[in-house]
Amino acid sequence: MNSGNEPMNIPPATAGPDATNSTVAPKATATTLITHIAALVTNDPSLGDGSPLGLIQDAAVVIDGDRIAWVGETSKAPATDNRVDAAGRAAVPGFVDSHSHLVFAGDRTAEFHARMSGRPYRAGGIRTTVAATRAATDAELEANLTRYLREALRQGTTTFETKSGYGLTVHDEARALRIAARHTDETTYLGAHIVSPDLADDPAAYVALVTGEMLDACAPHARWIDVFCEKGAFDGDQARAVLTAGRARGLHPRIHANQLSYGPGVQLAVELDAASADHCTHLTDADVDALANSSTVATLLPGAEFSTRAAWPDARRLLDAGATVALSTDCNPGSSFTSSVPFCIALAVRDMGMTPDEAVWSATAGGAAALRRTDVGRVTVGARADLALLDAPSHVHLAYRPGVPLVSEVWRAGVRVAAPAA
């Protein structure tokens, strides 16, 4: 299911004869031309400087409806109906956040405060959020979801994945996905987040529920199925049962893997051709090799390590091995309460061994790969017209100036949804 009602397999743009500077000419109906982009990240190595970012200096973009119709240098731009001057700002593709948990109620401020103060905290953890989410009305859950989506959009995120996982009953998981599907591009069924408190003494019965009645109720509202494969959550056999049941119902697998300890999650992800193995903090050499030789993306979530003072994933090790890496927020109320992809880019560069170029690619094209999308995460002909303009001359400033609200203008599907202050 593509809950955003958007094409899933738009072919990559075809470079024109002057592939270093432009693509094919636009149709005469092109509507908007954005000019004088100081440095444009296209994520098309056939363009611009030939790097993986396909960086074009003094660039221009033509938007026709909700699609990119032309990309090249400002001096070669065609005439269009409307014109917007970027005035020397840099631009990147809209960020693709391929991992978040946004359908919930309440927060866990007390838990975070205790953790950061070095004090034990024995309240409910995820179960606290489960109780609050179950008690919330649909309207309250939807208001909370849209609040965080707007917050992320202002920071340049134009493609959002979000999961269920805070209901853990048939009714509450299904309603979470129904609410999410009204607002997000990608929805993921995560009934297997933890064993429901209602069946804490019978994990096998809960797995049977997740793979049976709950799956039946949730599958119509989701594209993906996920499981938290970790000690204290679901072991390898249970995770396999969840993912294979979902796959039989047409849901594509992804997995929370190897976050808190070494375990079978990554190997299971590769075996089942999961689109993404997420967290990937504790990896053996065999895990790294498996990811590097597969189509499964390693999605790293630095907000979680920042918020829990945990060990950082070794992005450098994965990249040097040839794995495809994505960066996402893991936005959730317990362990990574940030909706800011720019913040995660800065963390990845500072603490995970990524270069600024690698981090920006991973937060755009990498996120798209983790969702198996070719229509987002790049600025090429035929892609969805998603752009984030920065109050900076280069994308490098996303890491160079951490914490600064550099995103000044956002275009999503050809519509300017956030504009600079007058």
Task: Give the model's pLDDT for residue 405.
Answer: 96
Using CB atoms within 10 Å of the CB of residue 70, give its burial: 0 to 12 exposed, 13 to 18 middle, 19+ buried.
buried
pLDDT (tens digit per residue) in 110-131: 899 999 999 877 666 899 999 9
Query: Is pLDDT above 70 for 381?
Result: yes
| Start-end of CATH 3.20.20.140 domains in the chain | 96-370
Query: Is pLDDT above 80 for 2?
Result: no
The stretch 143-160 carries a mean pLDDT of 97
pLDDT (tens digit per residue) in 8-59: 232 223 233 233 333 334 444 558 999 999 999 999 999 999 999 999 999 9
Task: Give the model's pLDDT for residue 418.
Answer: 85
Task: Give the model's pLDDT for residue 185.
Answer: 78
DSSP lists the bridge partners of residue 341 as none
Task: Give the model's pLDDT for residue 123.
Answer: 63
What percentage of residues in the chain have a pLDDT greater than 70? 92
Mapped onto helix, strand or coil, the DSSP state of residue 143 is helix
Query: Is pLDDT above 90 for 75?
Result: yes
| Start-end of CATH 2.30.40.10 domains in the chain | 32-94+377-418
pLDDT (tens digit per residue) in 201-216: 999 999 999 999 999 9
Top CATH class of 96-370 equals alpha beta
Going by C-alpha positions, the residue among 414, 418, 417 that lies closest to residue 62 is 414
The stretch 397-417 carries a mean pLDDT of 97
The stretch 72-82 carries a mean pLDDT of 95
Task: Give the model's pLDDT for residue 110.
Answer: 87
Task: Give the model's pLDDT for residue 410.
Answer: 98
Task: Give the model's pLDDT for residue 422.
Answer: 56
In order, the DSSP letters of 187-237 are EEEEEESS--GGGTT-HHHHHHHHTTHHHHHHGGG-SEEEEEESTTSB-HH
The stretch 347-370 carries a mean pLDDT of 99
Task: Give the model's pLDDT for residue 265.
Answer: 98
Task: Give the model's pLDDT for residue 420.
Answer: 74
Task: Give the model's pLDDT for residue 421.
Answer: 66
Going by C-alpha positions, the residue among 41, 32, 25 that lies closest to residue 63 is 32
Q: What is the average pLDDT value for the chain, to the nearest integer?
A: 92
Looking at 2.60.40.10, 3.40.30.10, 2.120.10.30, 2.30.40.10, the CATH number of the domain 32-94+377-418 comes to: 2.30.40.10
Going by C-alpha positions, the residue among 44, 120, 34 that lies closest to residue 84 is 34
Predicted structure pTM score? 0.91
Query: Is pLDDT above 90 for 377?
Result: yes
